Chains A and B, each alone.
Chain A
Amino acid sequence: DGGITQSPKYLFRKEGQNVTLSCEQNLNHDAMYWYRQDPGQGLRLIYYSQIVNDFQKGDIAEGYSVSREKKESFPLTVTSAQKNPTAFYLCASRGTGSNIQYFGAGTRLSVL
């Protein structure tokens, strides 16, 4: 998985609960991304960060939040405002000057 670790592999959320997905990379990459993948749909960008302490919304940021306090870490919180959170979540990173994204193994989130 190219030095990117996502945890947990499976996650269950109860109604009204916030959950946090972890993403850690040891590739010394500046840019990190969060995508959501649903069956029959492409990867949709939730948030991305080009540098520590800075991040931007992607196409479907509503109901999600992120932080980038360390270069290695880019956790994603799925808030209770996200009404349809069931999906496969992918974290990726990219080195400065590179156009290649390296992905983690993903977290599958389901609602109880």
Chain B
Amino acid sequence: SQKIEQNSEALNIQEGKTATLTCNYTNYSPAYLQWYRQDPGRGPVFLLLIRENEKEKRKERLKVTFDTTLKQSLFHITASQPADSATYLCALVWVGNQFYFGTGTSLTVIP
């Protein structure tokens, strides 16, 4: 079965620095890879989507890369702010809209 691994430990960074979160998967590559943000006690909120044939996607301070050879996606938040503190989930989507979510990485941005 498909296995998805995100940073196993919580990530703490200083305000203003770039946060980099990883999402690794096994087996075959998905058609899409997505990143969601989840705040405590709330549902996830969609942030970015990257397709199998795309290498990089940007949205404001967010950047996602997708390397199907390494079977890895990197999620970057530049100029991080305390308001970016949350748990970030990656989700793999295959044809037929099969969604599989990772366990998430908890990010804390320290002022």
Q: Chain A: residues with CB nearer than 8 A to chain B?
A: 1-2, 4, 6, 31, 33, 35, 40-43, 45, 90, 92, 94, 99-106, 108
Measured between beta carbons, the chain B residues less than 8 angstroms from A100 are 34, 46, 49
* Nearest Cβ on chain B to A35's Cβ, whole angstroms: 8
Flag if B43 contacts A92 (CB, 8 Å): yes
Bound CA span A81–B103, Å: 26
How many residues on B have C-beta within 8 angstroms of the other chain's C-beta atoms?
A: 20
Number of A-B pairs whose CB atoms are under 8 Å? Answer: 49
Measured between beta carbons, the chain A residues less than 8 angstroms from B34 are 99-100
Flag if A42 contacts B4 (CB, 8 Å): yes
Q: Chain B: residues with CB nearer than 8 A to chain A?
A: 4, 32, 34, 41-46, 49, 89, 91, 93, 97, 99-104
Bound CA span A35–B44, Å: 11
* Nearest Cβ on chain A to B36's Cβ, whole angstroms: 8
Measured between beta carbons, the chain A residues less than 8 angstroms from B100 are 42
Flag if A40 contacts B103 (CB, 8 Å): yes
